[in-house]
Structure 1
């Protein structure tokens, strides 16, 4: 915003930041132009316009799993424990890895779109689909052996047997999820979000009927819920493919299938692999809590409660996750367009919004803690345990809300390799060891597992804040230009 417009709207400098910048020749200290209140409000508006639909899409997709678990939960503790265990295992071995690899498109497609290399978005998506479908083959083989793997790691034999049957019907969903993850990032990096909400909403509504029919009328039992999940993933894929094919909004970015997508696959893997590690290392730490709960005293109760609390946390996480997705788009677009100051402003704004939403969501969780457990189970023991965990969940989600925005900054800049090392240290040198200590040594059970994860989150946020503060945004814009040129 120029000085004339600032005076016209009566805005005054709100923030004046003098940052140290470095280049190849050495270092020099430069003062950036002050950030005004109007610029901040405009950036907030841009991020919310993206984040709102992204939150809705993420929540609706999560509801597919949640609805299935709600149906299964009324079949008894064993069915719920088995379904939760199977979902956790498949998420750990399949969905998280695919989502992590696909998040490389946040950087590649976002920066290409900002640089107006529109045709490259379609190429990047096709390349990602090809690689992810190949990766899905060994993942499907792993999921097919769920029962044996769970027994090998010490899980209850009855739960493992039921979980193995449930997981077999999730295998088709792995391949659908591989395509879906790429489609979503293709659309959102070009700010096309409302159609994704409508399609995800339709799929979720249809899933309710599909799940009810397959669970109670087909004779499949709890396995019907798993099959319903897979069907819903593929319905979403087909509807999004039709939109991309026929919508004029994608006419510049989707020009049909091209053999060019089969080139530079190793270049894509160079960013996709650290992206996968960054995502998986964080995701696996939460899923490991459910697996650890299976070897606590009274494993059926602990596993059920941990899976319920994790599902509540995951639903709530969709809110800051939307902010993280929005800021990754904003930063990648602005860096690709050569606007480092706008990228820095986006990073500042998302951090403030992450803290604000964490407070609001925490208050809502605490106020509704007595009712949340009944949505998943009618067992009084389970409901009371969930109620006792809610204040800890509220704390975890406050810290997690801040880190979601910071992780979005990392993806937008293409720092996934740094993010992978930070997550490795935060969760596996601090979080998981602390969780084991609290749960098994201090005998705090599920509460101890959550307290350990909170410790890991705090370490992760501290590192990401330090990296973001020291960022040379002009240098990041230069690197984005080089990355786009190499891709083209």
Structure 2
């Protein structure tokens, strides 16, 4: 984020700098994860090394589980992209307001995302241990926690809806429209939380 700001604002490299910085940040994340795995040796308990026959077996199960997950995530991303493209046809004010709402949504979604991931892992662990009652308990406990997290991340946006848009622009029309749209994020947080927790 700081690199993007520096390259775009101070060095005036424009939009290309944003793409380069994003790619570099993904590369850094990969290197950090790889460094952690190699330094901590966590793989030694579960991985005995690369075996070509094992790597090429049971792919049907992998694809049976993986393809629906990929399609689900891709469909969500495609819908967001189509929404942005359609907003662009409605004029600059609508596009500006939609961009503000989308950025705020992306930020507040990051808060519960880790929780959603943890819930899915815990449910998977319980099911893997042949404990469906424990998995059900984890799931329903998570729904309660997700509701609380959605409230605490979405409610401030609703309460500050007349001020948040001015962090992005001084255009009164864009800010007015964005402030009308921001309350919908509270409902979005709840519905997205429940949807993600059922992955």
**TM-score interval for Structure 1 and Structure 2 normalised by the shorter chain:** 0.7 to 0.9
How far does residue 379 in structure 1 lie from its aligned partner after superposition? 2.9
Cα offset, 1:254, TM superposition: 4.5
Structure of larger gyration radius = 1
Question: Would you say 1:248 and 2:71 are equivalent positions?
Answer: no
Residues 213 and 365 of structure 1: CA distance in aligned 2, closer, same or farther (over 3 Å): closer
Aligned counterpart, 2:29: 236
**Aligned equivalents of 1:256, 1:368: Cα separation in 2:** 53
Write the distance in 2 (CA, Å) between the matches of 1:301 and 1:327. Answer: 39
Q: Which residue of 2 aligns with 1:225?
A: 18
Q: Do residues 272 (structure 1) and 66 (structure 2) align?
A: yes
Q: Which residue, out of 152, 155, 158, partners 1:360?
A: 152
CA separation of 1:270/1:384 partners in 2, compared to 1, >3 Å: closer, same or farther?
Answer: same
CA contact (8 A) 2:108 2:154 kept: no
More contact order relative to length (CA 8 Å, sep ≥ 6): 1
Task: Work out the CA distance in 1 between the residues paired with 2:44 and 2:15.
Answer: 43
Unaligned stretches of 5+ in structure 1?
A: 1-206, 412-488
* Match status 1:320 vs 2:109: no
Q: CA deviation at 1:321?
A: 2.7
Which residue of the other structure, out of 54, 57, 63, is the alignment partner of 1:263? 57
Deviation at 1:247, TM superposition (A): 0.6
* Preserved contact between residue 218 and residue 224 of structure 1 (Cα < 8 Å): no
Partner of 2:77: 283
Alignment partners' CA distance in 1, 2:73 and 2:122: 20
Q: Check 1:372–1:250 CA distance in 2 against 1; reply closer, same or farther (3 A cut).
A: farther
**Structure 2: tracts of 5 or more residues without a match:** none
SS at match of 2:130: coil
Choose which of 347, 360, 381 in structure 1 pairs with 2:139: 347
Between Structure 1 and Structure 2, how many residues are aligned?
198
Asked if 1:388 is matched to 2:196, the reply is no
Mapped to 2, the partners of 1:270 and 1:401 lie a distance apart of: 25
Q: Is the 8 A contact 1:358 1:399 kept in 2?
A: no
Root-mean-square deviation (Å): 2.2
Cα displacement (A) at 1:285: 2.3
For residue 211 of structure 1, report the CA deviation from its aligned partner: 1.5
- CA distance in structure 2 between the aligned counterparts of 1:247 and 1:273, rounded to whole angstroms: 31
Q: 1:154-193 to 2 correspondence within 5 Å?
A: none
TM-score (norm 2): 0.86
Please give the residue correspondences for 1:58-457 in structure 2 after superposition, counting only pairs within 5 Å: 207-208=1-2, 210-259=3-52, 260-296=54-90, 298=91, 300-405=92-197, 407=198, 411=199
Structure 1 residue 401: Cα displacement = 2.4
